[in-house]
Amino acid sequence: MHAEAASRLLKFVLIPALVVTLAWGVMVVPSRAQVYPERSITGIIQWGAGGTTDRVSRRITPLAERALGQRVVLSNMTGASGAVGMQYVFDQRADGYTLLYAAENPTIYGVLDLSPRNFDEFEPINLFARSIPVVVVRSDSKLRYLTELIHLAKQQPGQIKAGSTGIGGVPFVVGAMMTAVSGVKFNPIPFDGDGPAIPALLGGHIDFHVSVMAAVAEHIRAGRMRALAVIDNVPADVAPGVPALGQMMPEYRPYLPWGPFFGVWVKKGTPAPAVRRLADAFRPAVASEDTREFLDLIGAVPLNLSGDEAMRWVKQWQSVTAWLLHDAKATQKSPEMFGIPRPARK
């Protein structure tokens, strides 16, 4: 009697219930892709809290959130020049629910042998902006022009104390440019980033530093530092009156514009509708007046690139940087091994 009741229960209740559930599941799954995002999204920032990547990401994301209609929960996952965070996103499903907020570093993971990951495994949603590097000295320094710095460095090779933020960092690459073009060498003093390098410059413990505009703009405005040049082809609005390297010395032009960039990526293989939805949400967020003002404040130039345009930008940047590093003998592996072409002469 009991067994019979049980089998009847199975036959008339459980099995139909199962069938209905499965059928509902099958019907719902395809429609899910269309309603992306249907739950909150995780955003992994590959750099620490308070850094430029972090600031830019935390400032722009809330604007895109509104367009997406879902929360984007941001967290910092740092380590190994951002490779830890990138690896994490790579290990997640390519469903558009995990975003990678990255800076330029992954383009040179390969040649520096830092990580097997690279941007080819990710789809750019939006390249937000780029920072303009600027060469700064203390305001009581006797150096007034970049040419004077280069001249002095030729007279005293390897003696002028330059701030350095590690191999592949902004000062390193700009230094490699100066070595490649002007044949000068400095004495790089290592710091963990612009954070500790700037007080060292202000305290007179290093002679000059190459920093992104964001970190030094206020010190220049307050007259504590002097900018010798912006690392770009044309003077920047954010640094009025500061000459551009490419104008002063045209031989630097093939390498310019150069500077850190920031953006958001998803893992390759993410469904096209989700990629489109994200790109559509971020584009107006980056273009907004709010963001423009903020980027201006931190001395960054908006890029707002997505899709193929973004990929081209990254490739060009990678080719310039990887070969500069290689020629400065700072790479572990040749750019050729990764199929990175030498930058085209402009």
Partner 1 sequence: MELALQAFREFLSPQNVALSALGVVGGIIVGAVPGLSVTMATALLVSMTYAWDTKPALAMMLGIYAGGVYGGSRSAILINIPGTPSAVATGFDGYPMAQRGEAGMAIGLSTVQSFIGGVLGLVALVVAGPLISEFALKFAPRDYFLLVAMGLSLVSRLGAKSMPRALIAAAGGVLVGLVGMDPVTGEGRFTFGLPLLIGGVHFIAVLIGLFGLSEVFYQLGRVGRGDVPQIKIPEVGRILPSWALVLRFLPLSLRTSVLGIMVGALPGTGGEIAALLAYDHAKRTVRKPTRPFGQGAIEGVIAPETANNAAIGGALIPMLTLGIPGDAVTAVLIGALFIHGLRPGPLLMVEMPDLFWFIAASYALANVFLLIFGLMAVRPFVKLVNVNKKILMPMIALISVVGTYAIQNNIYDVFWMIGFGILGYFMKLGDYPVGPMVLGVILGPLADINFRRAILSVRGSVPAFLLELVTNPISLVLTIMMLSAFVPRLPSSAALRGLLGRLRLGKREGA
Shortest spacing between CB 106 and partner 1, in angstroms: 14
Footprint on residues 15-44 left by partner 1 (CB under 8 A):
44
Shortest spacing between CB 236 and partner 1, in angstroms: 17
Does position 302 bind partner 1 by CB under 8 A?
A: no
Footprint on residues 162-181 left by partner 1 (CB under 8 A):
166-168
Beta carbon nearer to partner 1, 21 or 156: 156
Does position 293 bind partner 1 by CB under 8 A?
A: yes
Residue 152 corresponds to which amino acid? L
How many residues at the interface with partner 1, by CB under 8 A?
59
Which range of residues in 94-102, 219-227, 230-238, 277-285 is near partner 1 by CB under 8 A?
219-227
Q: Where are the beta strands (DSSP E) in the chain?
A: 41-45, 72-76, 98-103, 122-131, 133-138, 161-164, 187-190, 208-212, 225-230, 261-267, 300-305
Beta carbon nearer to partner 1, 52 or 310: 52
Beta carbon nearer to partner 1, 44 or 230: 44
Q: Which of 54, 104, 123, 232 binds partner 1 (CB under 8 A)?
A: 54
- 3-state SS assignment for residue 328: coil
Q: Which of 47, 76, 135, 170 binds partner 1 (CB under 8 A)?
A: 76
Per DSSP bridges, beta strands 122-131 and 300-305 are antiparallel
Which range of residues in 9-17, 33-41, 46-54, 334-342 is near partner 1 by CB under 8 A?
46-54
**Tokens, residue 46:** 């590959």
The answer for residues whose C-beta is within 8 angstroms of residue 149's C-beta and 6 or more apart is 135, 137, 143, 160, 208, 228
The answer for residues whose C-beta is within 8 angstroms of residue 81's C-beta and 6 or more apart is 105, 109, 112, 114, 115, 166, 168
Q: Please tell me the distance from the alpha carbon of residue 72 to that of residue 99, in angstroms, as a whole number.
A: 9
Q: Please tell me the distance from the alpha carbon of residue 322 to that of residue 113, in angstroms, as a whole number.
A: 12
Beta carbon nearer to partner 1, 195 or 273: 195
Cis amide linkage into residue 37, ω under 30° from 0? yes
CB atoms within 10 A of CB 294: 17
Shortest spacing between CB 149 and partner 1, in angstroms: 18
Q: Which of 95, 118, 121, 190 binds partner 1 (CB under 8 A)?
A: 190
Q: Which of 192, 251, 309, 336 binds partner 1 (CB under 8 A)?
A: 192
Does position 203 bind partner 1 by CB under 8 A?
A: yes
